[in-house]
Amino acid sequence: MPARVEYIAPWWVVWLHSVPHLGLRLQQVDSTFNPRDESYRESLLFLGLVAAVCLGLNLVFLTAYLACACCCRQDNAVQIKQRDSCCVTWTAVAAGLVCCAAVGVGFYGNSETSDGVYQLIYSLDNANHTLSGIDTLVSGTTQKMKVDLERHLARLSEIFATRGDYIQTLKFMQQMASNIIVQLSAVPVWREVTAELTELADQTGHVEYYRWLAYLLLFILDLVICLLACLGLARRSRCLLASMLCCGLLALLLSWTSLAADTAAAVGTSDFCVAPDTFILNTTESQLSTEVTRYYLYCSQSGSSPFQQALTIFQRSLTTMQIQVAGLLQFAVPLFPTAEKDLLRIQLLLNSSESSLHQLTAMLDCRGLHKDYLDALAGVCYDGLEGLLYLGLFSLLAALAFSTMICAGPRAWKHLTTRDRDYDDIDDDDPFNPQARRIAAHNPPRGQLHSFCSYSSGMGSQTSLQPPAQTISNAPVSEYMNQAMLFGGNPRYENMPLIGRGSPPPTYSPSMRATYMSVADAHLRHYGSELPA
């Protein structure tokens, strides 16, 4: 029999099939697809355990890194703080980009896998429809030959009881009907096959729905974690950062789990796709003959159909019966008018059987079922398996991204903690102190502090200054210019923001405040001697 050229296994099938198959005891296992074999199932489970070992190594590395990051202390706090801030920012950006790229790859792989699986289900449904149609035609034609035709022939035997030649014709027709029934019994009954295909399609559809939904939720979780990381770093929120670390650890576990499942499924599918004919021949040998299975699997143009002889005998017997019925209508009806009704019913029955014969010939042809078989292989071995490879790549990229985020988490946490500690040396009365703003909600408001300003007038000297009783003036710029002209062109510093009024800078330590107050007093003495009363 010539080799089939319609289906060629893609390169990724051959590559995955070459992956070593090892049992739980590290013994070599035959890579032929056989899910009923316990050792073969153990070889697929071993691949999942390899991914579990990789997960354990990843967690050990993260634990060691986090322990070193939390325990080690560094000097040169200012420079290291700036360098850590920049490093954490760029690390978060890189991890976010990798995570987004992984989700994009995952969406494509999930779609490809879903398309392949639903193409398989569609092909199984088409094959079921064809096989069910064959069973319906065979059972219907057999029913007509056994029951309906037998009833009309028995009635005609009573009518033609006095004519021996007509009785012989009826017996010959009955013999042809029995011959048709025998030939129809040679056609396989596909009832068990259709039941198994229907169950397989239903189970595959349910599993695919939940698989697709699970991956969709995983993609959403990954994007949410990236959003939490961005918001936590942008708003410098330790709460969001802690949530990101916890969710990132969960996503890391799910990524390695999905990688284990994808690897086992991809290798098992590749084992089937390397030699699908062998597995189907071994599976159906108890239900179908090898000749029939090969006829539909290969559908060779040079090969003959195993049903050709049966269909030919069916056609000849049916034609012979139609000729006999036509002769009885021509010669027997004038003598026995009551036989016309039964003969016309038999003629309609034979015409209906001929139509069923043509439909049965078309359905038993290998081209329809062979096309469904190739479509199913294309869905599983091309789209489905390719999608599993992309999902495996998504799992690796997601694991890399979340490992990076978890490594960068302690640095970001330490940076935020150091930043809050820098405000411990700042006066609590400073309105620009972030800690003062947080405490303001719990403390009662203080009275407004009056500024000690330079007070110039004709009634006193600069040395007898007293704090003014009213608050800072909000006079416009023109008023200050007029006052400057009035006092000999020297500007007044009554409402200047910093110099000469004792107002502290936005952030200052106690040592800085002492230095500032000394400089402010020097300014007061200088302008006090320059503007005598």
Q: What's the pLDDT score for residue 92?
A: 76
% of the chain at pLDDT higher than 70 = 72
Measured CA distances, 347 to 151, 184, 264, 323 (Å): 14, 20, 61, 10
Question: Distance between CA 250 and CA 149 in Å, rounded?
Answer: 72
pLDDT in tens, 370-381: 999 999 999 999
Cβ distance 411 to 84 under 8 Å? yes
- Side-chain half-sphere CA neighbours of 332 within 13 A: 26
The phi, psi pair for 288, rounded to 5°, reads -130, 155
Question: Distance between CA 110 and CA 211 in Å, rounded?
Answer: 9
The pLDDT of residue 54 is above 60: yes
Tell me which amino acid residue 430 is.
D
For the residues 474-497, what does the mean pLDDT come to?
A: 45
Cα Rg of the chain (Å, integer): 46
Bridge partner list, 22 = 28
- 82, with CB counted inside 10 A (0-12, 13-18, 19+), is exposed
Q: What's the pLDDT score for residue 68?
A: 80
Q: What's the pLDDT score for residue 497?
A: 46
Bridge partner list, 28 = 22
For the residues 306-319, what does the mean pLDDT come to?
A: 92
Instruction: Tell which residue, 246, 191, 250, 244, has the closest CA to residue 217.
Output: 250
pLDDT band at 115 (very low <50, low <70, confident <90, very high): very high
Q: Which of 24-28, 401-405, 425-429, 492-496 has the lowest mean pLDDT?
A: 492-496
Measured CA distances, 122 to 131, 184, 368, 376, 435 (Å): 14, 29, 14, 8, 65
pLDDT in tens, 136-195: 999 999 999 999 999 999 999 999 988 888 999 999 999 999 999 999 998 988 998 999
Cβ distance 264 to 44 under 8 Å? yes
Q: Which of 51-55, 344-348, 425-429 has the lowest mean pLDDT?
A: 425-429
Q: What's the pLDDT score for residue 409?
A: 65
The pLDDT of residue 31 is above 80: yes
Cβ distance 184 to 314 under 8 Å? yes
Of the two residues 183 and 463, the one the predictor is more confident about is: 183
Q: What's the pLDDT score for residue 406?
A: 83
Cβ distance 395 to 258 under 8 Å? yes
Cβ distance 375 to 119 under 8 Å? yes
Cβ distance 284 to 296 under 8 Å? no
Instruction: Tell which residue, 417, 411, 416, 419, has the closest CA to residue 91.
Output: 411
Cβ distance 503 to 513 under 8 Å? no
Q: What's the pLDDT score for residue 50?
A: 92
pLDDT band at 410 (very low <50, low <70, confident <90, very high): low
Measured CA distances, 251 to 247, 402, 427, 514 (Å): 6, 7, 43, 53
Of the two residues 465 and 32, the one the predictor is more confident about is: 32
Question: Distance between CA 33 and CA 341 in Å, rounded?
Answer: 61
Q: What's the pLDDT score for residue 91?
A: 78
- pTM score: 0.72
Q: What's the pLDDT score for residue 518?
A: 62
pLDDT band at 426 (very low <50, low <70, confident <90, very high): very low
Q: What's the pLDDT score for residue 230?
A: 80
Of the two residues 308 and 468, the one the predictor is more confident about is: 308
The phi, psi pair for 429, rounded to 5°, reads -80, -5
Strand, helix or coil for residue 345: helix
Question: Distance between CA 501 and CA 517 in Å, rounded?
Answer: 9
